[in-house]
Amino acid sequence: MTDILEFDQLRDFLNERVEMYNRPTFIEADPVSIPHLFSRKEDIEIMGLFAAVLAWGQRVTIISKCKELIQLFGGEPFDFVKNASDGELKRLNGFKHRTFTSIDLQYFIQFLRIVYEKNASLEDAFFPDSSNDEDKVERGLIQFRNLFISHPIFPARSGKHVSSPLKKSACKRLNMFLRWMVRKDRRGVDFGIWNKISPSDLICPCDLHVDRVARKLGLIQRPKTDWLTAIELTKNLKLMDPLDPVKYDFALFGLGVEKEM
């Protein structure tokens, strides 16, 4: 990325790909389709979180398991989180997606219930204040995990489903969730319903597709994929668009899927 001509060409190429993929047609085959089934903010937050947490494996399977969750919630996730009786919670028994089991699901519901009892939005569990400190996302992810594991009923096995920069994780799924909630444009994919941080603060989700393409394009040099890799990638993307660097997630992910297909 040191050659100006090559940099300009790469930026123009990626901008073209952002335009190609950041549109409503992207939604149908992606886990972001799940929160798009709802209009209420709390439902969008809850199902967005579940869609992100379950986002490993084939996208078709991820979407199918999320729709199974919606059925278990009676079509109203926020109402279920707030009001489900012990008997209704038993409906969750038997749910499984890879290593995410009904034990984890039960705890997520209890955790979300506690969050919404104290806050108007799930955003407050990540960003309890509106400070302008640097590393807002890193701090927010650490805050969220600490809150997640802090309750007496927390089962240790569920900790693996909420990553943290302190554990050197790239935090791909949670960064994807934050992109959905925070990015604001008129393209119809991301929701832009959270306001305590701006799109310029976001960290690019580093999934296998993004990582592979970014390395081929010289946007990542770090040999392993971890939190510092996500930071490196985002810093390079900010050279192209400092206000909305994570929009290039569309381009990198789309190129990776296109190559695979």
Cα 247 vs. chain centroid, distance in angstroms?
Answer: 13
The CA–CA distances, whole Å, from 108 to 18, 67, 121, 156 equal 33, 17, 15, 13
Looking at the chain, the whole-number percentage of residues with pLDDT higher than 70 is: 97
Take residue 67 and report the two structure tokens written for it.
């729709």
* Interval 82-120: pLDDT, tens: 999 999 999 999 999 999 999 999 999 999 999 999 999
What's the rounded Cα separation, in Å, for the pair 113 and 232? 36
Tell me the residue range of the domain where 134 lies.
4-260
Distance, CA of 62 to CA of 74 (rounded, Å): 19
Q: Which amino acid is at 230?
A: A
Residue whose token pair is 């190609």:
20
38-73: pLDDT as tens digits: 999 999 999 999 999 999 999 999 999 999 999 999
Number of domains in the chain: 1
Identify whether the C-beta of residue 192 lies closer than 8 Å to the C-beta of residue 179: no
3-state secondary structure of 96: strand
Q: Which of 194, 209, 189 is nearest to 31 (CA)?
A: 189
Question: What's residue 134's pLDDT?
Answer: 78
The phi-psi region of residue 97 (left if phi > 0; otherwise alpha if psi is between -120 and 50; otherwise beta) is: beta
pLDDT at 183 over 70: yes
- Contact in structure between 188 and 24 (CB atoms under 8 Å): yes
The pTM assigned to this predicted structure is: 0.95
In this structure, what are the phi and psi dihedrals at residue 96, rounded to the nearest 5 degrees? -155, 135
Q: Tokens for 61, please give them.
A: 């399977």
**In a 3-state reduction of DSSP, which class is residue 192?**
coil
Residue 155 per-residue DSSP state: -
